Amino acid sequence: MFIEAGMEPSNHILTDAEQEKVDNAFSILPPLHKKILKEHLHSISFMDNMPNTALTSPIETADSTKQFNITFRAGILNETISAWATWKEKSVFDNSGNPALAIQIDAGKLDAIQYVLLHEATHVVDVVLNLTSHADKADSLLVHTVFTKNIWRLFNAPEIQYTNPVLEKTRFRGGAIQPISSATEVYSALKQTPFASLYGMASWYEDIAELLSIYHLTNKLKQPFVIYLKDNDGVIAVFEPMRNKLVKRRLKQLRVFYTI
């Protein structure tokens, strides 16, 4: 797929140090993730010259067993969660018109692979257990689950009370890259929703993965997750999802990941 897009991806062979980072990333997963991956994770792989961070793909099997491969961009093995998350969040905004403004995420010093594996593994758990409904048609009004009821209208459309024109313009909602001067307004709008991140608003699949990943990082691994908008070195806006009352109301739903 990447080659057809004009790229030159190549297989990345893990060094001993990188293998240790991967082992650590599996070790910190919630109990349900470990159980499901033992049964349904066919393989993982790492790629150089890969444009996105990770890709979870179904594997064809001889029977009805669901099997998956997760492919990671190898570069994240040399990044912290803070550095990787900041890079991703910066992709939402264009600061060329105001270079003094910048987005920065403080998510601690753990390896980025820990967060990314957790996020992608949540997709596997989601599909296997149908924690959110899955269908082929983008405009289908699907059956709701406890994770989507009163949050999402369609799998890619939040309920009306959480649909904000400011947020709808952002790239993860299918909009465009926004000028960074709009960041304060964007995060103020996000605080009025039950979503843990802008990326979590892309669909209910990304919502559950982001909600669980940020919760696990902060509550189980005792790391921060704070988004700062800075003007030079001064902080002018802060978004901390796990302090958002609307997000906190959803956390009881996450118990399923820790009781098996």
Q: Please report whether residue 16 resides in a domain.
A: no
The first and second tokens of residue 177, run together, are 């890259």
The CA distance from 102 to 87, in Å, is: 11
What value does the mean pLDDT of the chain take? 94
pLDDT tens digit sequence for 35-91: 999 999 999 999 998 889 999 999 988 888 899 999 999 999 999 999 999 999 999
**Which domain range does residue 109 map to?**
80-257
Q: Please report whether residue 124 resides in a domain.
A: yes
Q: Please report whether residue 106 resides in a domain.
A: yes
192-204 mean pLDDT? 98
Q: Please report whether residue 205 resides in a domain.
A: yes
Q: Provide the angle, in degrees to the nearest 10, between the axes of the packed helices 112-129 and 81-90.
A: 70
pLDDT at 260: 77
pLDDT of residue 109 exceeding 80, the answer is: yes
Q: Please report whether residue 19 resides in a domain.
A: no
Task: Say how many domains are in the chain.
Answer: 1
pLDDT tens digit sequence for 228-248: 999 998 999 999 999 999 999
The CA distance from 186 to 183, in Å, is: 5
pLDDT at 51: 86
This prediction's pTM: 0.94
The CA distance from 165 to 142, in Å, is: 24
The CA distance from 114 to 91, in Å, is: 21
pLDDT at 5: 79
The CA distance from 243 to 221, in Å, is: 16
Q: Please report whether residue 63 resides in a domain.
A: no
The first and second tokens of residue 157, run together, are 């459309």
Q: Please report whether residue 67 resides in a domain.
A: no
pLDDT tens digit sequence for 118-142: 999 999 999 999 999 987 655 556 7
Q: Please report whether residue 48 resides in a domain.
A: no
